[in-house]
Each structure stands twice: as C-alpha cells, then as structure tokens.
Amino acid sequence: MSSNLIGALLMMGSMAAFTINDTFMKATGGAVPLFQLIFLRGLLSLVLIFALANRLGPMHLRLSGKDWSLVGLRSLAEIAASYFFLTALFNMPLANLTAILQALPLTITLASALFLREAVGWRRFGAIGIGFLGVLLIVKPGSEGFNAWSLYGLIAVASVTVRDLSVRRMSAGVPSMTVTLSATLSVTVAAGLASLGQPWAPVTPELAGLIVGAAFFVLAGYFLSIQVMRVGEVSFTAPFRYTGLIWALILGWLVFGDWPAWSTLAGAGIVVATGIFTLYRERKLLSA
C-alpha cells in the first residue's frame, strides 16, 4: 500500500478509537462522578503509556523554555477540552456532539489566519463562513432544541483549537509522546484534585470494564493519530478525520438509540463539505 493509503487507514482507525472511547465513557451513564471518571481513566492511560513507552515512540524532557510554555498551554487546553466535551457528552447525543466537533478544521484555519498570520484566501474564508452556518443548524440557537450543552460543545471546539495551534508552534524536535504524556498527566492530576471536592462512587465490575475500555481506546486513538503524522501527506489524510462522524452515528444509534434530526444532519453535511474544501485549498496552495 502507498504511504497515503496507510495514513488514511490510520486516521480512520484513530477516529474509530476515539469514538469508541466516547461511547464507553457515555455508557457509564453518570454512575461515576465526572472527575472521578476522568481521573481513573487517566491513571489507566498513564500505566499504558509507561508500559508501552518504547513502542509508542521516543520520549524526553530536554525542551526549550518556549516549547515548555507551549506544552503547558496545550495541557491547559486539554484539561478544558476534556471537561467541556465530557460534560456535553453526558447530556446530549453522541452524534450531535461529534457533528459540532467537525467544525475543527474550520476553526483551526480561521485561528491560524487571525493569530499566526497564515495566509488564507477569500475562498477559504467563504467556506469557513458557510461552515459556521452549518454549525448553527446543528446547535439551533433560539430554538427549543438549543441548550447549554451545545455551548459546552462549542467551548470544547475552541479548547481543541488552542490545543492544536500550540502544537503547530512547537519545535519539530519535540517528541509526540512527551506532549501526550504531559497532557494525560495534567488532565489526570487536575481531575484528581477536583474529585476531592465530591464524594466518590463505588465502581462495579461493569463500570470498571467500561473505564478500562475507555482508557485503552483513548490511548489507541492517540497512538494512531501520532502514527498518522509519520506516514503520508497530512493534507491527504486530514479529510479522513470526518469518518469519526460516521462512527458516532452508528454507535449512537446502536448503543443509545439516538438518531439526529434532519437539521443536525444537514448542518453536519455542510460543515464536512466546507471542511474538506478548506483542506483541499490548503493542499493545492502548498503544492503550488
């Protein structure tokens, strides 16, 4: 297989792993308090990271002051993204929240233009504007279907945008696993401290199985997403990120019996189409 095809398969595998992780987390049904749940999953993820350290890639702490600042910023953004995303996940359908997250390529492109001074032409700006109209169809502000959890989903998108932009500013020599370890450790410690302010719930064998599954698949998602960066062209593999929405639709229907309204599906279609166009334009400009 070509490197691009391998990269596409890895990206699809990564999206499947992340969505299965979300499904396991949502399936706990609130039986375990949020911060306790994040803390336990984080502990298991850390154990897996150290157990598989040699296989997942190099890891060292010899970074410049600038890179450490960016790693710290990324970790803070990861903490915010975890809290707002998981809170929204427990209170709205999986596919609806995943549809909101499909706006990420648009928000990253817009933020890159505004804050990193990257060149973005009128075509991509137009696609971003149309894509945000699609987001409005998904969250439906001013309607009965709109609630605070949709806002939590949008804040999660903003947090992930900051997270990904901080990575763009890091030096090329910063190991991916150092960044992953820092983010996982930060989220785990933050959740552990926050969990001290609420009573812990007993973890039944069924809940333990769901938490272990979530920890395994979230780490698998991280591992596969790191491998994607090492294989094929990013501009080719990036559009396959949208397969996560397909997984969310299937798992949301099979596991939770949820199916989005037509307006949500239409909005998701608009966001995906404009996101793919944005990535296509970026690839075309880079190859020019």
Spell out the domain ranges in the chain: 3-287
- Are 9 and 17 within 8 A, CB to CB? no
- For 200-209, write each residue's pLDDT tens digit: 999 999 999 9
CA atoms of 180 and 46, how far apart (whole Å):
10
Helices (H), 28-121: 34-51, 53-56, 65-89, 94-101, 104-115
CA atoms of 141 and 132, how far apart (whole Å):
13
Residues 6+ apart with CB under 8 A from 5: 232
- Are 226 and 179 within 8 A, CB to CB? no
Instruction: Say if residue 159 is exposed, middle or buried (CB neighbours under 10 Å; 0-12, 13-18, 19+).
Output: buried
Residues 6+ apart with CB under 8 A from 196: none
- For 230-255, write each residue's pLDDT tens digit: 676 666 777 888 899 999 999 999 99
Instruction: Say if residue 283 is exposed, middle or buried (CB neighbours under 10 Å; 0-12, 13-18, 19+).
Output: middle
The token pair that represents 98 in the structure block: 């995943």
The token pair that represents 44 in the structure block: 């298991």
The token pair that represents 186 in the structure block: 């930060």
pLDDT at res. 143: 55
pLDDT at res. 205: 95
CA atoms of 124 and 4, how far apart (whole Å):
24
Which portions of the chain are predicted below pLDDT 50?
A: none
How big is the chain by its Cα radius of gyration, in Å? 19
- Are 22 and 210 within 8 A, CB to CB? no
pLDDT at res. 148: 85
